Amino acid sequence: MSSYQTIEVKTTQDIEFIDITAQVRDFVRASKCGSGILLVYTPHTTAAVTINENADPAVPCDIGEFFRHRVPRQDYFRHSEGNSPAHILSTLAGASEALIVENGEPLLGAWQAIFFCEFDGPRQRRVFLKIVPG
């Protein structure tokens, strides 16, 4: 019945969208919070959290391919690790998503899924979940 939890995500590709909807839903149910706001937050600077469609797995693939093509390395980048595109994508997609909780469930549209976005994998990653009631 905690309002805070960490989940682990293992990525296998450089750019990858991993559906974490089931884990988020389990957390909301276990929290026994009937109504509030839920925050899904990643503490990494080369990753993100987004909400999009997963009914057709081609959707997250197309998003990832577009990001790969449109945010490539640039001669003017100075960050020595060479992963500035991943940092840029982290800012564009955002470190978190907030959701509404009603009747003990996260409110998601019919086609919405919650994704952890890997932009500099493969790596072992974490996502923090938190609910405030209201």
Are 2 and 84 spatial neighbours (Cβ–Cβ below 8 Å)?
no
Q: Which of 98, 88, 96 is nearest to 46 (CA)?
A: 88
Q: Which of 39, 15, 19 is nearest to 92 (CA)?
A: 15
Rounded Cα distance between 16 and 10, Å, is 10
Our finding on whether 35 is near its own copies (CB under 8 A) is: yes
Our finding on whether 75 is near its own copies (CB under 8 A) is: no
Count CB neighbours of 71 within 10 A.
17
Candidates 7-15, 21-29, 92-100; binding stretch for its own copies (CB under 8 A)? 92-100
Pairing of strands 112-118, 47-53: antiparallel
Our finding on whether 62 is near its own copies (CB under 8 A) is: yes
Our finding on whether 124 is near its own copies (CB under 8 A) is: no
Smallest distance from the beta carbon of 128 to its own copies, in angstroms? 5
| Residue from the set 16, 84, 119, 120 that interacts with its own copies by CB under 8 A | 84
Chain residues in the site for its own copies (CB under 8 A):
3-4, 35-37, 39, 41-45, 50-53, 56, 58-59, 61-63, 65-66, 69, 71, 74, 76-81, 84, 87-88, 90-100, 102, 107-112, 128, 130-134
